[in-house]
Structure 1
Amino acid sequence: MVTFAKKGMVATSQPLAAEAGIEILKKGGNAIDAAIATAACLTVVEPTSNGIGSDAFALVWVKDKLHGLNASGKSPKSISIEAVKEKGYEEMPKYGWTPVTVPGAVGAWVELSKKFGRLPLTEVLKPAIEYAGKGFPISPVLGKMWSRATENFKKNLVGDEFQYWFETFAPNGKAPKIGEVWSSQGHANTLREIAETNGESFYRGSLATKMASFSKKYGGYMMEEDLASFKPEWVNPIKVNYRGYDVWEIPPNGQGLVALLALNTLKNFDLKNDNEVERYHKQIESIKLAFSDGLKYITEEQKMSVSVEELLSEQYAKSRAEQIGQTALTPAPGNPPKGGTVYLATADEEGNMVSFIQSNYMGFGSGIVIPETGISMQNRGHNFSLDPEHENHLEGNKRTYHTIIPGFLTKDDKAVGPFGVMGGFMQPQGHLQVMINTIDNRLNPQAALDGPRWQWMKGKKIKVEPQFPLHIAQELERRGHEVEIALDNTSFGRGQIIWRDANTGVLAGGTEFRTDGVVAVW
């Protein structure tokens, strides 16, 4: 059921984190403070998807203007294709220090607080510190994902550098059970130090020294100078106009461009007059074409050989639409892997709104935890290519293709609100489906999120959720799509939405059944 409120709203995948954001609003904070509090809390209460060593992106609506923040970290300056291949790798590994890039989430909290926040970080991070130190009970979806990750890591993490992950997240070799209370004093101490130093310790102080020393001990490339040189970047969000609404995303290195490419292609069709099968077919074909471009071109924007403007031109969109026929086509890109991410949306009664996303990637990330700190390091570098001819090839001091993307919707230069769907390469596919449900199908936030989803995997193969209409799946098969019905909903993203009524200021929020999420209100 859609949730309504007037004074404030926080929507995310963990009830405790959402309530932490509302608590900060009630203490006099704004939507930006609430977003930081929620994000910090999520590193504790949903460590299966993010951590203190994550990256982050944000779209922030303040005083009738949308601001973009890219807080994704770069690769260590000393890494190179040659160095990685000398270690015997033919592609970037998933685990260990090699795929670790500079974590940017803490920098995002600090930058957002400095530019738009109202309360100090010592106040904003209090809920996260308390949950880390005193503990919290494990929720159902979290417990399931935690157990699954632990079993995976038991099989794949070999080496002394991984023992601290097990000490922190699987003491005695077991994941905490659903309903069991878990705590981490290391998390609490680290978050407190971040708050008291306004993030300085993390990038240029004792926490930075601990990360760099642990990296050096186990042959990692990250050094103190990599951390010290990190700074989040304010960027101009990119958009397409889709049937009178402006849909906004963060520019590359994020993959939000993929969602915009697909929407730009789809607006060349009159979906209202199509039957259900035709609408699904065109959506799937559009996302396949969008990914074929995204996986080819997306890397750091200044290093792309084709501009965002060229890719989003009306002429190019029409040429892509012309390639869509009655049967499934085979696009160029490879096999998109799964991922793990947290998303949150916040809004306050002043009109401020935040779309924020934070992730370690592939669940717990690299499997590296800095001893006694609770800092779990991301593995974003896994997306780099070791082919020097590829646009997203590995280099030192470079941002990689990034899966996490916050979204925002406006109409007639007024905010409609923030939206997002978590889940690796599912994210632009989720954005597309949520926008179709919102704009074309005119569904409320909750219904837009609850609609049955499909996921393009590779070639002509798509997965559909267990509740996806069987007659539509069968008809898609007849059109050449290779349809697989998934056994559960875990790979189809987990999203949240907050819309604001332009006339009344009333907030309408949704979160979905695929996660432990809640819409907290005031």
Structure 2
Amino acid sequence: MLYHPHPSRRVCVVAQEGMVATSQPLAAQAGLSMLERGGNAIDAAVATAAALTVLEPTSNGLGGDAFALVWAEGRLHGLNASGYAPRALDLEQAARQGLTSMPRFGWFPVTVPGAPAAWAELSARFGRLPLTETLAPAIHYAERGYPLSPVLGHVWDLAHQAYQHHLRDDMFAEWFRVFAPAGRAPRVGEVWRSPDHARTLRVIAETDARAFYEGELAAAIVRFSKQTGGFFTLADLAEYRPEWVCPVHVRYRGFDVWELPPNGQGLVALMALNILSGFEFSAWAAVETQHLAIEAMKLAFADGRRFITDPSDMRVRVEDLLSPAYAAERRKEIAKTARDPAPGRPPGGGTVYLATADGEGNMVSMIQSNYMGFGSGLVVPGTGIALQNRGHSFSLQPGDANCLRPGKRPYHTIIPGFLTKDGEPVGPFGVMGGFMQPQGHVQVLMNLLDFGLNPQAALDAPRWQWVEGRRVDVEPTWPSHLAQALARRGHDIRIARDSGSFGRGQIILRHDGVLIGGTEPRTDGSIAAR
């Protein structure tokens, strides 16, 4: 069902002994090199993730967060490596600054980074190779440099233009020194290198990441925080640990679709699929198909924005949100024409996704992010650590589920996905891109499971993105007759100028012992296989 041929701009990659799919070719090769050295899919994932902090700094970095779904030892494991707000940051601090919402830049949206701890935790529990080996490719590219690929160069230039406008304070000077060393963004084909990244990665590798949270790197972060009006203390970093969690799932078309539980928005994808499971779809290009998918997604987002937050502050149970009875009630609210649920406006985001598999059955779905582009605009001097702005999604309104609290983790957009069938792994999938991610998950899964597209065709298919109210953006390649038909149903259809905000995904599926991979045409994506 999943693998019959279908017209597509590219064909699937097929292999048997191992596969790595991600948005940067050199990062994919870094992961594959671990398999060639005797490592497993977990080692490949760690190497790829670390390399991406150097090879795609526009979306993730050493100061970001990570999540992973790992199939190993006969079952699926979940890792939440998202960070919390500093203990000194609260609503009173925001009020003293006159803030009514969390800013995008500066210290207020910076939460404790989890990515380095994620690498160490994954490596210690499931890996075969030491971090000194898995981080070696990232160190190499940071020291020697690499030429920018086309999409990366375009995104980097856009970020530099925005940061020139917004980052005027002296605290942001390091960002420009590191990421715009010639007074501008590096150009496509131009070599960029960062010795600071290399030194930091080497310290992380040699200390199994503890120096980032308790040693010299932690001290550098806290020193910079104190000098520039931040909120971090050594205790904020020393107390941090990633958390192993139980993944959650729903059944869709005979498959189990797995996501991580809150504080991530994977529940939004699962709630939408639960609603859609009550319908039958005849064709992708039918207006009824796309209308129902859009309306289900809007309902799921309305619930996600209201309820999803740090688990300690959740006001409803996950199992209640995912119950068939609740899905049936929400399904009744879908009409023949577009309606207006009332969540907040979903902003864009910057994230990297990777999938790995080896010949022994291990598979990893992993996602890593600084959130919005390069993050907060703050780079710790001399380290290359670009600090995330994940706390931007906190609310400053008392009583909101996602209201800022010291030590609290915010609503998280980054979500890895995984498919199983009859208790056996089918494979990892993911679509990066802020609040587009659950929308991408649902559309890609419908392409795979409802319409039988192969992984590459499932990623190539045109996408829509619900924005707010009745507004739905569609890609330039979206069929015009379908756009017109949706507009007649009350959807405010707008054709985007490019595909930059519609997510960037990867898929690896296992079928009869063979690995079948697809990579995103909307980025510099690549699959390395053996």
Common fold by TM > 0.5: yes
| CA distances 1:251-271 after superposition (whole Å, capped 9, x unpaired) | 000000000000000011112
User: Equivalent residue for 2:347?
Assistant: 337
Question: Quick one: which of 439, 442, 445 aligns to 1:435?
Answer: 445
User: Equivalent residue for 1:125?
Assistant: 135
| CA distances 1:298-344 after superposition (whole Å, capped 9, x unpaired) | 00123111111111111110011111111001001010000000000
The one-letter code of the counterpart of 1:382 is H
The answer to whether 1:514 aligns with 2:522 is yes
Instruction: Give the root-mean-square deviation of aligned CA atoms.
Output: 0.8
Distance 1:513 1:447 in 2: 10
Question: Quick one: which of 322, 347, 350 aligns to 1:312?
Answer: 322
User: Equivalent residue for 1:406?
Assistant: 416
| CA distances 1:404-459 after superposition (whole Å, capped 9, x unpaired) | 00000000111000000000000000000010001001111100100100000000
3-state SS, counterpart of residue 172 of structure 1: coil
**Unpaired runs of 5+ in structure 2?**
1-10
The answer to whether 1:301 aligns with 2:316 is no
User: Equivalent residue for 1:56?
Assistant: 66
Distance 1:32 1:276 in 2: 40
**TM-aligned CA deviation for residue 63 of structure 1:** 2.3
Moved more, 355-364 or 302-311: 302-311
Question: Quick one: which of 302, 317, 320 aligns to 1:292?
Answer: 302
Distance 1:92 1:38 in 2: 32
Matches within 5 A, 1:174-253: 174-253=184-263
Question: Quick one: which of 158, 163, 166 aligns to 1:148?
Answer: 158
Distance 2:514 2:320 in 1: 38
3-state SS, counterpart of residue 390 of structure 1: coil
| Residues 431 and 437, structure 2, Cα contact 8 Å, conserved in 1 | yes
User: Equivalent residue for 1:483?
Assistant: 493
After TM superposition, the score normalised by the length of structure 1 is 0.99
The one-letter code of the counterpart of 1:466 is P
**TM-aligned CA deviation for residue 155 of structure 1:** 0.2
Distance 1:35 1:275 in 2: 36
Question: Quick one: which of 384, 401, 423 aligns to 2:394?
Answer: 384
User: Equivalent residue for 1:4?
Assistant: 14
Matches within 5 A, 1:60-99: 60-99=70-109
The one-letter code of the counterpart of 1:511 is T
User: Equivalent residue for 1:45?
Assistant: 55
**TM-aligned CA deviation for residue 272 of structure 1:** 2.8
Distance 1:12 1:25 in 2: 16
Alignment coverage as a number of residue pairs: 520
| CA distances 1:218-275 after superposition (whole Å, capped 9, x unpaired) | 1111111100000000000000000110000000000000000000000111123797
Distance 1:303 1:101 in 2: 17
The one-letter code of the counterpart of 2:291 is H
Matches within 5 A, 1:313-328: 313-328=323-338
Distance 2:382 2:414 in 1: 28
3-state SS, counterpart of residue 350 of structure 2: coil
3-state SS, counterpart of residue 220 of structure 1: coil
Question: Quick one: which of 96, 101, 112 aligns to 2:111?
Answer: 101
Distance 1:72 1:222 in 2: 16
Identity %, equivalent residues:
61
**TM-aligned CA deviation for residue 89 of structure 1:** 1.1
| Residues 283 and 289, structure 2, Cα contact 8 Å, conserved in 1 | no
3-state SS, counterpart of residue 488 of structure 1: coil
After TM superposition, the score normalised by the length of structure 2 is 0.97
Distance 2:520 2:364 in 1: 19
User: Equivalent residue for 1:361?
Assistant: 371
**Unpaired runs of 5+ in structure 1?**
none
Q: Which runs of 4+ in 1 moved over 4 A?
A: none
3-state SS, counterpart of residue 271 of structure 1: coil
3-state SS, counterpart of residue 182 of structure 2: helix
Moved more, 75-84 or 30-39: 75-84
The one-letter code of the counterpart of 1:417 is G
Distance 1:197 1:302 in 2: 31
Q: Indicate how the Cα distance of structure 1 residues 273 and 358 shifts in structure 2: closer, same or farther if over 3 A, else same.
A: closer
The answer to whether 1:14 aligns with 2:28 is no
Distance 1:159 1:75 in 2: 23
| CA distances 1:180-217 after superposition (whole Å, capped 9, x unpaired) | 00000000000000001111110000000000110111
